[in-house]
Amino acid sequence: MTEGLKTAVLTVSDTRDFSTDRSGQYLCDSLVEAGHVIAERYIVIDDRYLIRAKLSAWIAASDVEVVLITGGTGFTGRDTTPDAVEPLLDTLIPGFGELFRQLSYVEIGSSTVQSRSIAGVANNTFVFCLPGSSGACRTAWEGMLKEQLDESFRPCNFAELIRKGVH
CATH number at residue 144: 3.40.980.10
Q: What is the pLDDT of residue 96?
A: 96
* Residue among 77, 157, 73, 78 at smallest CA distance from 118: 73
Are 60 and 8 spatial neighbours (Cβ–Cβ below 8 Å)? Answer: no
In a domain, 1, yes or no: no
Q: Which domain holds residue 32?
A: 8-164
* Mean pLDDT for the stretch of residues 90-94: 97
End-to-end CA distance of the chain, in Å? Answer: 21
Domain count, the chain: 1
How much is the mean pLDDT over the chain? 94
In a domain, 23, yes or no: yes
Instruction: Check whether 80 has a pLDDT greater than 70.
Output: yes
Amino acid at site 136: A
In a domain, 137, yes or no: yes
Rounded distance between C-alpha atoms, residue 77 and residue 46, angstroms: 10
Rounded distance between C-alpha atoms, residue 9 and residue 166, angstroms: 22
